Amino acid sequence: MRRLRGIIRSLFAPGLVLALALTAGVAGAQPVANLETAVKATYLYKFAPFVTWPAAPGESLTICIIGADPFGDVLDRAIAGQGYNGRPFRVLRLPAIGVDSGCAVAYLGGSGHQSVASALQVLKGAPVLTVTQNSRSPGIIDFVNLQGHIRFQVDLAAASRNHLEISSKLLAMAAAVKNDGGAQ
Amino acid sequence: MKRLIDPIMRAVDRHRTAFVALGLTMLVLASVIAGLYSEHLHQRQVIQAARVQARIVADSLSGALAFGDQATVSQITTAIRANPEIETLIVLDDKGIPVAHYGKTIMLLNGRNEQRADDGFTVRVPVEEKGVVLGTIILKQRSEALALRLARYAGAALLLVAGLLMLTLMAFDTRTLARTNRRLREVMDERERAEAALRQSQKMEALGRLTGGIAHDFNNMLAVIIGNLDLFARRYPDADAKMLRFISGSQEAAKRAAALTQRLLAFSRRQPLDPKATDVSRSITDLSDILRRTLGDAISVETLRAPKLWRANVDTTQFETALINLAVNARDAMPDGGKLFIECANARLDQSHAENEDDVVPGEYVMVAVTDTGTGMPADILAQVFEPFFTTKAVGLGTGLGLSQVHGFVKQSGGHVSLSSKVGRGTTVKLYLPRSFDAPDIPAAERIVRAEHGRRDKIVLVVDDETGVRDFVCEAVAELGYDVLSAENADQALDIFEEGMRIDILLTDVLMPGRSGRELADEVLARHGEMPILFMTGYAQDAIVHNGKLDAGTRLIKKPFTIDQIGVELERLEGAVQ
């Protein structure tokens, strides 16, 4: 490991190495629960490149947090400097979602205003990648915790209903892929 | 065509080494260029392969990198490790933290995305999906080991060297072969020439024997006929006039026949010769009148005589006959006039002459060249002209014995004839007559007749072509106390001057065959500056007088004169000089 470090140091400019060290330091200071949140936050935007929407996104690709927001600024920091086909990511926090909210990815946290289930109902057939957290009414992608690791399940039928194409690469990473034989 | 190709072939022959060297150099250059190009291609291939491999790896790892699937990353990395061409692979996640790697050495990329090295090519490519950066791949594609590559080139180089060696050897081989071939051709040519010369000589010999035999018998019969006719004429001087005319006509014809047999005998080298030391130049001078008459007005004669010409050991009369024969031929070759050059010079024929020509004995010869500006002869005629009865002249105009006589005479004298001719340009006949050693030329100093009394210690050179006059003048001058040298013509006199003898007074006849006394005097004055000269003449003052006056240092005495008269003139000349 030490050798690899040495190699890395020789590969990158010192400034970048310093930045890495800082990042590691910040990560080390966070509690374990927060680490999980951070992983999920990065997953949230990393799903996007493996999904194809029926229409190309506009000026930016919007990630919506509906209801409870477990990520806080972790998500904002994760998407900083990243882009989808040259367009920046945008985070929109809404108490409830509608078809015309302009969301490409929607994390459904659930709230008093709109339960996860009702949000899913609203978004049925709309080109929105719905993401839920270990929910009884899961979205297209549902985070699960397997042996302490954050994984996810994919509901291909739901994706299909929402006119989304999911890359096989993403499916390969999924802990489980549900396909109830619905519309293809 | 052959004339065109031969020089080119000879040039190639001569510069063969340069041609071969040039060819080989170009071959080596071409090989080096081909090698470098192949190396360049290989490098490009390595670069291309590295880029493609990196992209494939990046693509296959994107999902696993995005979602932190360490197991999949390791699995793929291990799979790629099986490819020996990928020496190093490093997989970094989106934070730049290494996720997987293998490989021993890593090139410093120094901020660049690609790095070329002797042993391979390193690339860095981002792992991205739709512009979202998920990680980084650094991959080093190994190029074929330098040693391996060199070994491959060494193989080719070895082949090249072997090829070059073979080509060089072949070139040298061809060169040696060409040289040998040339030498062989030369030897063959030489042999052919020698054989042709031998055949010619044998033919002439056979012809000579045949004609000689017939001519000899014929001559004897003619002797009987002429003798009997003579006897008849003597015995019956009072015979019928008509009969005597018949006899006389028969005698004429028989004599002409005898003359013809003489020439046949001359060709067959059976005529009796009386060789003696002959000054051929003198003979030519003596013949000049006859030659001029023979040649006519349209042909001018020019004679060239080399200084210190040796004497030739030949029969003078036969030599003169030969010369006239040559002149006649020359005249017939120049129907519209022209020039005849007669040149005399000393010649040494060496071994190479003897090898190239038939019957030539190396040694010293007096060369007489007779050149005309006539029609010339083609080679096939040239080869036959010495044969008896061969003639190109119309029937009745030539006997075909002229050149046969020349050939027979020269051969019998132990000499040699050479002929060269060019159609339209003229013909040259060269007679090489053996040098006479019988009467070695006595140096002038030893020929001086010393005055017996009243010596004045002055040498007078007396030049006169008439022996009686010369002898008298010499006696007279010696009587007067002068030492005397004598010469029978201007050429001899000039030879004496040429020997460096001190001559105090030149006493010369004016009208002589060859160069006149005036010409001799001019020549002497031109060569030696001042020289007291006394001319002897019976007439023709104009030959020596310029504008009615004699030159300074020049006097004239009229023949006949007494000893006293010549004594006075000589003393005046002496006084004038002093």
Q: Do B131 and A170 touch (CB under 8 A)?
A: no
A93 is written with which tokens? Answer: 């926090």
pLDDT of residue B389: 63
| Residue of chain A nearest B107, judged by CA positions | A11
Let me know how many helices (H) and strands (E) chain B has, helices first.
15, 17
- Picking from A175, A18, B295, the residue whose alpha carbon sits closest to that of residue A155 is A175
How many CB pairs lie under 8 A apart between chains A and B? 70
Q: Is the peptide bond before B560 cis (omega within 30 degrees of 0)?
A: yes
At B430 the pLDDT is 92
Q: Measure the CA–CA gap between A145 and A152, rounded to whole angstroms.
A: 8
Contact A173 B67 (CB under 8 A): yes
Residues A52 and A1 in one domain: no
Please state which of the ranges A26-30, B148-152, B468-472, B543-547 shows the lowest mean pLDDT. Answer: A26-30
What's residue B365's pLDDT?
92
What average pLDDT does this structure show over B459-480? 87
Do both A24 and A54 map to the same domain? no
Q: What is the pLDDT of residues A136-164, one digit of tens each?
A: 888 999 999 888 888 999 999 999 999 99
Reported as a pLDDT band with limits 50, 70 and 90, residue A8 is very low
**B160-197: pLDDT as tens digits:** 888 888 888 888 888 888 889 999 999 999 888 888 87
Residues 6+ apart with CB under 8 A from B139: B50, B53, B54, B57, B86, B88, B89, B90, B122, B123, B125
Nearest alpha carbon to residue B503 among B454, B429, B547, B447: B447
Mean pLDDT for the stretch of residues A101-114: 86
Give the three-state DSSP class for B541. helix
Tokens in use for B370? 């007779």
In this structure, the answer to whether residues A12 and A52 fall within a common structural domain is: no
Check whether B466 has a pLDDT greater than 90: no
Task: For residue B311, count CB atoms less than 10 angstroms from its CB and return exposed for 0-12, middle for 13-18, buried for 19 or more.
Answer: buried
A36 and A89, same domain (yes or no):
yes
Q: A21 and A41 share a domain?
A: no
In chain A, the residue whose alpha carbon lies closest to the alpha carbon of B105 is: A7
Pairing between β-strand A129-133 and β-strand B299-305 as defined by DSSP bridges: unpaired
Determine the residue among A141, A165, A173 to mutate to test chain B binding: the one whose Cβ has the most chain B Cβ atoms within 10 Å. A173
Q: Which residue of B has its CA nearest to A85?
A: B131
CA distance, residue B78 to nearest chain A CA (Å):
17
Task: Choose among B333, B191, B282, B233: nearest CA to B492.
Answer: B282
The alpha carbon dihedral of B318, B319, B322, B328 has a sign of negative
What are the DSSP calls for B149-191, one per residue?
HHHHHHHHHHHHHHHHHHHHHHHHHHHHHHHHHHHHHHHHHHH
Judge if A15 and A44 occupy the same domain: no
Residue A183 falls within a domain, yes or no? no
Closest CA to B512 of B500, B498, B494, B530: B494
Cα–Cα distances in angstroms (integers) from residue B417 to residues B57, B208, B414, B554, in the given order = 103, 16, 10, 46
Interface subset of A 53-112, CB within 8 angstroms of B: 82-87
Say whether both A46 and A79 belong to one domain.
Answer: yes
Q: How far is A148 from chain B (nearest CA, A)?
A: 14
Residue A20 to residue B66, Cβ atoms within 8 A? no
Which residues from chain B sit within 8 angstroms of residue A4, using beta carbons? 98, 101
Same domain, yes or no: A128 and A164: yes
- Are residues B66 and A50, on separate chains, in Cβ contact within 8 Å? yes
Would residue A145 count as lying in a domain? Answer: yes
* Nearest residue to A114 via CA among A138, A101, A98: A98
pLDDT at residue A154 in the model: 93
B376 Ramachandran zone, left/alpha/beta (phi>0; psi -120 to 50): left
* A15 and A81 inside one domain: no
* pTM for the predicted model, two decimal places: 0.43
Same domain for A93 and A120, yes or no, is yes
Is the pLDDT assigned to residue B486 strictly greater than 80? yes
Residues 6+ apart with CB under 8 A from B350: B362
B254 vs B260: CA distance, rounded Å: 10
**By percentage, how much of chain A surpasses pLDDT 70?**
80
Q: Average the pLDDT over B24-42 and give the result.
A: 88
- Per-residue model confidence (pLDDT) at position A64: 92
Q: How many domains are contained in chain A?
A: 2
Q: Locate B364 and state its tokens.
A: 């010293």
Note down the domain range covering A11. 1-30
Whether A178 has its CB under 8 Å from any CB of chain B: the answer is no
| CATH assignment at residue A168 | 3.40.50
Question: What mean pLDDT comes out for the span B507-525?
Answer: 85
CB contacts, 8 Å: A41 with chain B: none
B111 CB neighbours in chain A (<8 A) are 13
Percentage with pLDDT > 90 across chain B: 8
Choose among B69, B95, B129: nearest Cβ to A23.
B95
Q: Which residues of B have a CB under 8 Å from any CB of A?
A: 62-64, 66-69, 72, 90, 94-98, 101, 106, 108-109, 111, 128-134, 138
Q: What are the phi and psi torsion angles at B393 (to 5°)? A: -85, 160
CA distance B138 to chain A (A): 10
- Any domain includes A1: yes
Could you count the other beta carbons within 10 Å of the beta carbon of residue A87? 16
Burial class of B536 by CB neighbour count within 10 A (0 to 12, 13 to 18, 19+): buried
Domains of chain B: 16-144 (3.30.450.20), 148-267 (no CATH), 276-434 (3.30.565.10), 444-577 (3.40.50.2300)
Per-chain mean pLDDT for chain B: 82
- Answer yes or no: do A42 and A75 share one domain: yes
Mean pLDDT calculated for residue range B200-226 = 80
Across the range B356-377, mean pLDDT stands at 85
The rounded distance, in Å, linking the Cα atoms of A160 and A45 is 20
CB–CB of A50 and B129 under 8 A? yes
Same domain membership, residue A85 and residue A42: yes
3-state helix, strand, coil in chain A (%, to 5): 40, 25, 35
Q: How confident is the model at residue B366, as a pLDDT? A: 93
Query: Domain for residue A184, yes or no?
Result: no
Identify which of A16, A48, A167 has the shortest CB distance to residue B96: A16
Which of A17-21, B91-95, B344-348 is the least confident region?
A17-21
Grade residue B320 by pLDDT with cuts at 50, 70 and 90: confident
Do A65 and A108 contact (CB within 8 A), yes or no?
Answer: no
Beta-bridge mates of residue B371: B341, B428
Q: For residue A7, list chain B residues with Cβ-Cβ distance below 8 A.
A: 90, 98, 101, 106
Tell me, yes or no, if A170 comes closer than 8 A to chain B by beta carbon.
Answer: yes
